[in-house]
Amino acid sequence: MRYGILKLLKEAGSDYITGVDIGTRFGISRSAVWKHIIELRNEGYDIESSPNKGYRLLPGGELLNPFEIMDGLGTKIAGTEVVYFDEIASTNTHAAKLAADGCAEGTAVVAGTQTHGRGRLGRSWESPKGKGIYLSIILRPPMAPAETPVFTLAAAVAAVRAIYDVTGLRTGIKWPNDIIYEGKKISGILLEMNSEAEMVNWLILGIGVNYSQTESDFPEEIRDRAVSILSASGEGTPWKDAPHGQGSAPGEDLHHVLRGGHDGRAGRLALIRALLRRIDDIYQDILNGKNAGILDEWRKHSVTLGREVRFTLKNTEYTGTAADIIENGSLLVDCSDGVRRELHSGEISIRGIFGYSD
Amino acid sequence: MRYGILKLLKEAGSDYITGVDIGTRFGISRSAVWKHIIELRNEGYDIESSPNKGYRLLPGGELLNPFEIMDGLGTKIAGTEVVYFDEIASTNTHAAKLAADGCAEGTAVVAGTQTHGRGRLGRSWESPKGKGIYLSIILRPPMAPAETPVFTLAAAVAAVRAIYDVTGLRTGIKWPNDIIYEGKKISGILLEMNSEAEMVNWLILGIGVNYSQTESDFPEEIRDRAVSILSASGEGTPWKDAPHGQGSAPGEDLHHVLRGGHDGRAGRLALIRALLRRIDDIYQDILNGKNAGILDEWRKHSVTLGREVRFTLKNTEYTGTAADIIENGSLLVDCSDGVRRELHSGEISIRGIFGYSD
């Protein structure tokens, strides 16, 4: 009920609605309306009340909560259920528990901070309170585990699209799925799967985005390798051409959206919604067998292909040129010894990224 | 301490050991020894006490507990930790929780009965109390998810070996990993995986064995498709030649071992230990890159290859002849329309198995 009232206030924009009108709409008394308004204020919404004019929601008062994330989202699967925590150990770990308990496909877990945020290959993910996006989505694709590597590439493509949608920033993909802005990491993806031998039980697509950190917010050891959305959009020039032919550059005042709300949460909210929409889109593409298009888009956004890379395989270090990716998610590298090698996993260094220049 | 005393009694075989000797060995008083003996009796061990001779463990008094399962097992990984439940929802589900909580690799979960036993492809697994083996083992192979399909085949090979070790029964494998005796299912395997895109977090290898069911113990709908170890070893003729060149036919009196203990638990214990050993062996083979040998052994035990099979693919039914398996676990079928198809997953019917004869 109180979110129904909130919805009405949001739709009214800068106009007032009287308590009588709200009460009539929901069949409740003026004093019952007042109680709901108090509850919404306690949640953190800035609602102005005027004895003569009624109520109105003040701009920039968006919260990061399931209602705001889901309201009018319009996705088929991703984000059709949302759970939010001010603080949690790890959104991916919690999502795995929900999945094991049989939650609906598309359920998203969002947190204000993670105490044990996790990254790829057993690493941790720095998750300062209110400064990042910590989002995990549960998918249940009806396929065999062997068919799922495309999700690794698709998740990166969705993140690039979503960041562009909201910020106009054109980011790149470092294989397999780090999101890079001017040689620094702006977002990371952790994809986890639970499966039988022949059948996926669930996939968890976790996305961490550095949102409002300043340089000094990052721990010293990653300071030269990490960047946030706000510092990138302050420094960089937003791209005016849509990088993917879908959607267009943001029409709203960029700074208003990105820095709006307490703690930049309006911007985080907008980006979470964009991520859910882009993941929803690309999931439909996968379900419809459009993997080739996803690979092409990955190649287009790549900051990997054609670059000099360095990697270690069975204790031997190789250098070479990243040549292509293939549908199983592998990276093909033309090594300096003349051999083309297929990398299934692990870490590569790319000249020009994360300070690698020697 | 009390398992130390139990071990001493087991080693003494049919001889008595005095309370003084036991007390001296562990540096405790005779009355403390007596307390431990009482505890062991309360657990269910048949320990005879004679005022003059001391204590001895009566034969056939083995219990199904972690001590008995692990004592002298000699495995490197599988079964180096064991947890036992008289009753649990599902050993695989519990194993997944232990794995998520960071348990040691090789931890085995054993139960007397499962209230929600699970089989392949979302099916249930009938788990009557004391009549079956319900075993799940947690492995953490240092590999990519794409390298794990061999575990599906390997688990079946290990089960065939273990059943032969203890019972002398020669069973066959229905693709991918049902264990078949004279056209009926004697054991089923459920392999589950939790992974990142590039790295396995854990594998759970679940094995259910029909051990002491009589025909009327099986639900009517599976009665013509299921058989137990005891009814098979009573009816069938144990094979005298080892089917795998490792180990030999059981030297002990088969009926004594298989039907020993209350509720046949000595036999279940022996088979659980054999399964852990065979899984341990074959896991070492996988870690050492000996997949080709595992596939060969699967082929040797197959009741699938060369047989007429029927399956459904995208709502179309096909018949054909099962031609081979390949390292990704797929079954190659030469279909009656002249096309060779590769089956990644799902269910096949094999002429002559589970009553398929039309």
**ipTM of the prediction:** 0.72
Nearest chain B residue to A328 by CA: give it. Answer: B146
Antiparallel, parallel or unpaired: β B82-88 and B108-114: parallel
At residue A313, the 3 state secondary structure works out as strand
* pLDDT over 80 (residue B144): yes
In chain A, the domains with their CATH numbers are: 2-57 (1.10.10.10), 66-300 (3.30.930.10), 304-350 (2.30.30.100)
* pLDDT over 70 (residue A347): yes
At residue B356, the 3 state secondary structure works out as coil
CA distance, residue B260 to nearest chain A CA (Å): 35
* pLDDT over 60 (residue B255): no
* pLDDT-based confidence at residue A235 (cuts at 50, 70, 90): very low
Interface contact A191-B196, CB threshold 8 A: yes
Residue in the block written with tokens 């505890």: B39
With beta carbons under 8 A apart, name residues in chain A contacting B145. 145, 193, 195
Interface contact B345-A198, CB threshold 8 A: yes
Q: Which of B65-74, B142-151, B248-257, B287-296 has the lowest mean pLDDT?
A: B248-257
CA distance, residue A99 to nearest chain B CA (Å): 12
* pLDDT over 80 (residue A243): no
Q: How far is CA B38 from CA B5, B25, B82, B85, in A?
A: 12, 18, 24, 22
Q: Which of A131-140, B30-39, B195-204, B240-249 has the lowest mean pLDDT?
A: B240-249
* pLDDT-based confidence at residue B262 (cuts at 50, 70, 90): low
- Write out pLDDT tens, residues A96-155: 999 988 999 999 999 999 999 999 888 899 999 989 999 999 999 999 888 898 999 999
User: What would you report as the CA-atom Rg of chain A, rounded to the nearest whole angstrom?
Assistant: 22
Average pLDDT for chain B: 89
CA distance, residue B200 to nearest chain A CA (Å): 9
* pLDDT over 90 (residue A203): yes
Q: What is the pLDDT at residue B167?
A: 92
* pLDDT-based confidence at residue A258 (cuts at 50, 70, 90): confident
Please give the structure tokens belonging to residue B137. Answer: 């083992």
* pLDDT over 80 (residue B61): no
* pLDDT-based confidence at residue B273 (cuts at 50, 70, 90): very high
pTM of structure: 0.80
- Write out pLDDT tens, residues A20-46: 999 999 999 999 999 999 999 998 899
Q: Find out whether A131 and A112 touch, Cβ atoms under 8 Å.
A: no
Q: Find out whether B322 and B333 touch, Cβ atoms under 8 Å.
A: yes
Rounded percentage of chain A residues whose pLDDT exceeds 70: 91
